């Protein structure tokens, strides 16, 4: 079984796409947006990624590559080329002292999840009893997709290295984990393990449709897919999407004033009244879709 650390960064966006409601930009069918005005001497760009997609479905339009090339710095959600990133992740993967999966789940739920991991993933969760539910849920992504995966962040890091550009992060690893941990370990187990198992078949169909809509660059369709998710949770949405968006905007403003920047963030962060696009517009920036 693959190391769960490997799938952490690709599973974060998967989690809020699969488990949360999202609101999008009407009539815009693009994943790439130009940010200009409000004192910027040169435009910056933000691209909406999806962290879990089959290699055969992966696509990167030439215009995205072009804007990536002209940018003078690259920002992803976290600093993906930081040598200490994995070590930092390991600090936050385990449940708080005194807690195990068995203590944060009812016995029937634990047995249900354990059986699923044994039957479907050939994994004994007893050996990972101290890991946070989110980490365990991330291990199911390859099975959810059922294909070799390709991550946009992985590609962007490689492109940055080839172009001798440093990759930086909009937030710290700890901030990402805090957004998940705010719901509490018991609720995290219910949303990310129990409900995932209960809705596995439906979830696979939903995710397949989501990927199809992502390939169409149809943010509005993605919103509709996620709004109907049986595992939607308002509090989770607020912690994982809205609050992080609000934190990012002043950081993005400072970053863009320094140098023209290419931002790569989960597509679910872009849309809605409290999404990155709307929040940037409220700050006086001109944000327009790049076809």
pLDDT tens string 124-181: 999 999 999 999 999 998 888 889 999 899 999 999 999 999 999 999 999 999 988 9
pLDDT tens string 60-93: 999 999 999 999 999 999 999 888 998 999 999 9
pLDDT tens string 42-55: 999 999 998 789 99
Q: State the average pLDDT for the chain.
A: 86
Q: Residue 274 phi/psi, 5° resolution?
A: -115, 20
Distance in angstroms (rounded) separating the CA atoms of residues 272 and 241: 10
Confidence of residue 194 (pLDDT cuts 50, 70, 90): very high
pLDDT of amino acid 229: 62
Instruction: Give CA angle at 236 (233, 240), nearest 5°.
Output: 140
pLDDT of amino acid 130: 95
Q: How many beta carbons lie within 10 A of that of residue 5, not counting itself?
A: 15
Distance in angstroms (rounded) separating the CA atoms of residues 83 and 98: 30
Helices (H) and strands (E) in the chain, counts: 16, 8
Confidence of residue 5 (pLDDT cuts 50, 70, 90): very low
Query: Which segments within the chain are labelled E, that is strand?
Result: 32-36, 44-49, 53-54, 73-76, 149-150, 167-169, 261-266, 286-289
pLDDT of amino acid 10: 40
| Beta carbons of 171 and 207 less than 8 angstroms apart | no
pLDDT of amino acid 248: 98
Instruction: Give CA angle at 88 (256, 45), nearest 5°.
Output: 20
pLDDT tens string 201-257: 988 888 888 898 899 987 767 666 665 665 556 776 777 888 999 999 999 999 999
pLDDT tens string 10-65: 444 444 443 433 333 445 689 999 999 999 999 999 999 987 899 999 999 999 99
pLDDT of amino acid 27: 53
pLDDT tens string 95-109: 999 899 999 999 999
Burial class (CB in 10 A: 0-12, 13-18, 19+), 151: buried
* pLDDT greater at residue 146 or residue 6: 146
pTM, two decimal places = 0.88
Question: How far is CA 204 from its chain centroid?
Answer: 17
| Beta carbons of 167 and 76 less than 8 angstroms apart | yes
- Reduce the DSSP state of residue 142 to 3 states and report it: helix
């Amino acid at each position: 079984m693959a190391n769960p650390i490997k799938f952490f960064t690709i599973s974060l966006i998967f989690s809020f796409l699969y488990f949360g409601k999202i609101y999008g930009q009407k009539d815009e069918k693009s994943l790439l947006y130009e940010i200009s005005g409000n004192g910027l001497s040169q435009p910056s760009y933000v691209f909406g990624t999806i962290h879990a997609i089959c290699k055969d479905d992966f696509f990167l339009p030439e215009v995205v590559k072009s804007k990536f090339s002209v940018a003078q710095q690259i920002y992803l959600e976290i600093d993906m080329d930081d040598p200490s990133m994995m070590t930092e992740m390991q600090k936050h993967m385990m449940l708080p002292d005194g807690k195990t999966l068995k203590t944060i789940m009812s016995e029937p739920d634990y047995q249900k999840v354990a059986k699923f991991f044994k039957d479907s993933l050939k994994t004994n969760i007893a050996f990972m009893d101290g890991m946070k539910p989110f980490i365990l849920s991330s291990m199911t992504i390859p099975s959810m997709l059922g294909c070799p995966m390709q991550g946009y962040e992985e590609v962007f890091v490689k492109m940055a290295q080839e172009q001798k550009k440093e990759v930086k992060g909009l937030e710290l690893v700890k901030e990402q984990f805090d957004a998940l941990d705010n719901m509490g370990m018991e609720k995290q187990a219910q949303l990310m393990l129990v409900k995932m198992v209960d809705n596995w078949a439906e979830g696979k169909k939903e995710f397949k449709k989501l990927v199809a809509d992502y390939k169409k660059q149809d943010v509005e369709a993605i919103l509709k897919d996620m709004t109907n998710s049986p595992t939607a949770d308002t509090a989770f949405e607020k912690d994982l999407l809205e609050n992080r968006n609000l934190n990012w905007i002043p950081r993005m403003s400072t970053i863009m004033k320094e140098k023209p920047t290419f931002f790569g963030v989960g597509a679910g962060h872009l849309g809605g009244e409290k999404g990155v696009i709307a929040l940037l517009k409220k700050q006086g920036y001109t944000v327009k879709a790049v076809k």
